[in-house]
Amino acid sequence: MLETIKGKTLVISGATRGIGKAILYRFAENGANIAFTYNKNEEEAQKIITDVEAKFNIKAKAYPLNVLEPETYKDLFLKIDEDFSRVDFFISNAIIYGKSVVGGFAPFMRLKPKGLNNIYTATVLAFVVGAQEAAKRMQKVGGGSIISLSSTGNLVYMPNYAGHGNSKNAVETMVKYAAMELGEFNIRVNAVSGGPIDTDALKAFPDYEQIKAAVQEQSPLNRMGDPKDIAGACLFLCDNNSSAWLTGQTIVIDGGTSFK
């Protein structure tokens, strides 16, 4: 258990599955209290609460959130204020899929403004409003750590990924600006960028099996990424004993694939 994490509060979006869920468990096992969001899977959210509260003796609460409506973060944080006495860490993780990415998750010639705008809203605007609300609370406790998830689809070509790759570039730039302006409050802001990680989001790609085979072949570690690989980097970025002078950066966790 990390003393720098124990008793602190993590707010994380989209923690019912995949990477978000792995991050939630990594922080809970280190003694953090957790405020997390779900979109459709309320039942799974309740199961997670029961499990982590019993296993790790921490407090966990789940709240509905739609990242296509970033302004709703304001009310969400007011609810979090009622349930938790402090906010120390914020991780913008949730990602949209399905109907809302039509025209955004597509080959270049089929891209449409609405789909692209939805991805930008969910990735960049949700990060901005969530991080603003989190930073106000972090200032009251002397600092904190803010993280946006990103993806190496902005470094290497992935079919259909122009909309996401472009918005991940944008959020990495937003992270740098936030880092410059929040440093005076001892708030660090970074991005964690993953190569292909085996989650539902990736399984939704039509070429999932090809991506998996290619990643296994490209990575010197001969495997795809696991959500736990990303969770470790997030814990590191919130642990002041490990990363106190690290801000405005993107940590790339790609199993070595981007260099091949």
Secondary structure element (H or E) that encloses residue 12, with its range = strand 9-12
Going by C-beta distance under 8 Å and a sequence separation of 6 or more, which residues neighbour residue 132? none
Q: Quick one: how far is CA 190 from the chain centroid?
A: 11
Candidates 39-47, 137-145, 181-189, 235-243: pick the segment binding ligand NAP (CB under 6 A): 39-47
Identified catalytic residue from 161, 176, 208, 212: 161
Is 16 a binding residue for ligand NAP by CB under 6 A? The answer is yes
CA distance 58 to 160: 41
Active-site residue, 6 included: no
Is 38 annotated as catalytic? no
Show the binding pattern over residues 161-200: x = contacts ligand NAP (CB under 6 A), - = does not.
---------------------------------x-xx-xx
Q: What is the C-alpha separation between 91 and 133, in angstroms, rounded?
A: 12
Position with the least CB separation from ligand NAP: 18
Of residues 151 and 160, the one with the C-beta less far from ligand NAP: 151
| CA atoms of 23 and 26, how far apart (whole Å) | 5
Judged by CB under 6 A, the stretch of 88-96, 103-111, 135-143, 215-223 that binds ligand NAP is: 88-96
Quote the tokens at residue 28.
């809970």
Q: How far apart are the first and last CA of the chain?
A: 36
Closer residue to ligand NAP (CB): 76 or 179: 76
Q: Which of 58, 57, 52, 69 is nearest to 15 (CA)?
A: 52
Classify residue 232 as exposed, middle or buried by CB count within 10 Å of its CB (0-12, 13-18, 19+): middle
Task: Draw the binding track, 208-247, toward ligand NAP (x: CB under 6 A; -: no contact).
Answer: ----------------------------------------
In angstroms, give the least distance from the CB of 93 to ligand NAP. Answer: 5
* Residues annotated as catalytic (active site), given as ranges: 161, 168
Binding region for ligand NAP (CB under 6 A): 13-20, 38-41, 65-68, 93-96, 149, 151, 194, 196-197, 199-202
